[in-house]
Amino acid sequence: MTTVSPHCPAPEPFDFAREVYELVRDTAPRLFAVVEEYRVGTEDADAVVVAWGLAHADGAAEVISVEGHRRWQLAAAENVVRYFGRAEDLSARLVWLTAPDTDPHTEAYAA
């Protein structure tokens, strides 16, 4: 009886550039905007981005106002909304650019 060895494909060469890309992708902070909404639920509703933030894996966040004059370092991204939306008919909320369990990058890897 003869034996047949399984087909072993040649291993792919190590792709350092891809490894670096995946490291960056996997450790990147999540990007969000702080949006103030005016007269929500009416015909005159409007919104404006007032700040941008980065949320890190440990939950901490860094936020900078759009005009660049104010910065916050917070234990949690959601805490920044207390600094916005304080007028009548005005509220603030975070708008995440990506969901926490999705790939934050839409571009394809290019070697």
Q: Are 18 and 110 in contact (CB under 8 A)?
A: no
What pLDDT does 2 receive? 63
What pTM does this model have? 0.72
More confident residue, 111 or 65: 65
Buried b (16+ CB within 10 A) or exposed e, 73-108: ebeebeebbebbbeeeeebbbbeeeeeeeeeeeeee
Q: Among 5-14, 82-91, 99-108, whose mean pLDDT is lowest?
A: 99-108
What are the residue boundaries of the structural domains of the chain, listed by start? 23-96
* pLDDT tens column, 37-46: 999 999 999 9
